[in-house]
Amino acid sequence: MANDKLKIRSVGIDTYHENVAYMHRDCELYRAEGFQALSKIEIRNADDKPVLAVLNVVDDSSIVTPNELGVSIQTFQQLSLPEGCEVNVCHAEPPDSMGAVRRKINGERLNQHDFLNIAKDIEANRYSKTEIAAFLVASGQTSLDRDEILYLTRAMIETGEQLDWKESQVVDKHCIGGIPGNRTSMLVVPIVAAHGMLIPKTSSRAITSPSGTADTMEMLSNVNLTPERLLDVIQQERGCVAWGGTAELAPVDDKLITVERPLAIDSRGQMVASILSKKLAAGSTHLLIDIPVGPTAKVRHMREALTLRKLFEFVGDQLNIHLEVIITDGRQPIGQGIGPALEARDVMLVLENSVKAPADLRQKSLQLAGRIIEFDPDVRGGQGYAIARDILDSGRALAKMHAIIKAQGAQEEGNLSGGNLFFDITAEKSGVVSNIDNLQMAHIARMAGAPLDKHAGVDLYKKLGDKVKKGEALYRVYAEFKPDFQFAKNLCQTNNGYDISDNYETPKSFVDII
């Protein structure tokens, strides 16, 4: 078949994390509907790695003509071919490694070989979103034993790039997430880097949360650094706070997360593999993991936190990373602001030793930084906290933060206040704040437009144990965009996320964060 080719056309449709191709119903070469029913096609030009895509059939020749193959923006980028270039199309067979996924569904244990094949197929975009969902659910909470988690972690590391910093100590920290406002990384990095340790912190952007560390840092500096620029910054300043998406570190993890998060299925095994694969690929030698525990945190009971700690320790030890786990108070958001601008404001207040700085954010960051500083063989056990506090109080952390911001490229706009649209949520009765729902507060900030609208979010006026009078403001919601403002307002009316009790003993932290 010599003339069995279609011309590639980039269709201006952004299909997010899924590849989509568009074929005219009267395509001159292929039976569009036949392809569509089998759900995936493989697009090839002469030599290259095939690109897989879901097929949509088009009846409108202004979108795609019968001798063209339209592709969505993402697909066009992956193909890296010029428009008009000729390609072949064929049926995409289901990936071979789906056999292993089906065995997992049937309760079998998979081996290292199986996990590596699955990771390779996912990396090569051979899995559809439903196939990824099948793998995630099959390897859900109760179905991966600790050896399988190790295999999965290894497979995710091996299917991406790995950095080597050529230093004996490369430290990092990671929080398992779920606590709004918890921007400790932006304080830990300058403190630890000011101490002289190498802390190349790459962060993620929000997927379903109101802000990721990368989104918040972006208020202050550029975070989209090329791998080369990143290296310069780190060599110069010993630390950075940048978006990790430019390096191909554990790319399978990214693909899994984009399906897992909207499904809101929390698999402990996937979490451990996700965190450790990213950190090991990034070349970390020493890692501190923060597990917040609370009724609306990801981990709700101390016994769960302990199980999870052991899992991290087991896999970390096998993969030869020095790993410590700290269990922290996750009963409420950390700091005052939720959303990129408001969180960045909190971070700067702590660095500036302002009296307005949120005490819990300062305290927690010092604890974490102190533990990391104790990875330094020259630091006496138990002295880390004092060293961290000294670095922060003396202004050295602030100076380091300014240096990192400058090295990454400072943002011109310095406005860290909330958006122009706002409303307050007030107490319906007098009493004591007895519960703040992390999930609901995150949801409200998200609906208000965070993280896309940088100044959208929530500013908390009252925290757990605070006394409130009826009508007093509990928090303020900021938005920039009117429909989002309304979405957030509607959501607060359904559930404002706060409980007020009449007689409530200010509870002590039920986990000891020191």
Q: Which residues are catalytic?
A: 266
* Angle value at C-alpha 296, between 293 and 300, nearest 5 degrees: 40
Measured over the CA atoms of residue 433, residue 438, residue 439 and residue 440, the dihedral's sign is: positive
3-state secondary structure 182-195: CCCHHHHHHHHHHC
CA–CA dist 71, 64 (Å, integer):
9
H or E element that contains 474 = strand 473-479
Tokens 């056990």 correspond to what residue? 381
> Per-residue string for binding with a second copy, 250-289, x by CB under 8 A?
---------x--xxxx------------------------
Query: Residue 173 corresponds to which tokens in the numbers above?
Result: 């920290």
Residue 2 lies near a second copy (rule: CB under 8 A): no
Q: How far is the CB of 206 from a second copy (least distance, A)?
A: 8
Residue 168 lies near a second copy (rule: CB under 8 A): no
Q: Out of 80, 111, 130, 430, name the contact with a second copy by CB under 8 A.
A: 130
Strand partners, 436: 498
- Sheet of 498-501: strand order equals 467-468, 431-436, 498-501
**Residues of this chain, 140-159, that bind a second copy according to CB under 8 A:** 140-142
Residue 112 lies near a second copy (rule: CB under 8 A): no
**End-to-end C-alpha distance for the chain, whole angstroms:** 71
> Per-residue string for binding with a second copy, 311-350, x by CB under 8 A?
----------------------------------------
CA–CA dist 380, 37 (Å, integer):
65
Q: Out of 8, 19, 21, 22, name the contact with a second copy by CB under 8 A.
A: 22
**Residues of this chain, 474-513, that bind a second copy according to CB under 8 A:** 481-484, 486-487
Residue 124 lies near a second copy (rule: CB under 8 A): no
CA–CA dist 365, 387 (Å, integer):
13
- With contacts defined by CB under 8 A, name the span among 127-135, 240-248, 306-314, 396-404 that binds a second copy: 127-135
Q: Out of 81, 133, 399, 473, name the contact with a second copy by CB under 8 A.
A: 133
Q: How far is the CB of 445 from a second copy (least distance, A)?
A: 12
Strand partners, 274: none
Residue 58 lies near a second copy (rule: CB under 8 A): yes
Contact between 229 and 220 (Cβ < 8 Å): no
Grouping H, G, I as helix, E, B as strand and the rest as coil, residue 35 is: helix
**Residues of this chain, 435-464, that bind a second copy according to CB under 8 A:** 446-447, 449, 452-453
Q: Which residues bind a second copy (CB under 8 A)?
A: 1, 4, 11-16, 20, 22, 25, 29-31, 33-34, 36-39, 56-60, 62-63, 72-73, 90-91, 94, 98, 102, 105-107, 128-134, 136-138, 140-142, 207-208, 259, 262-265, 446-447, 449, 452-453, 481-484, 486-487
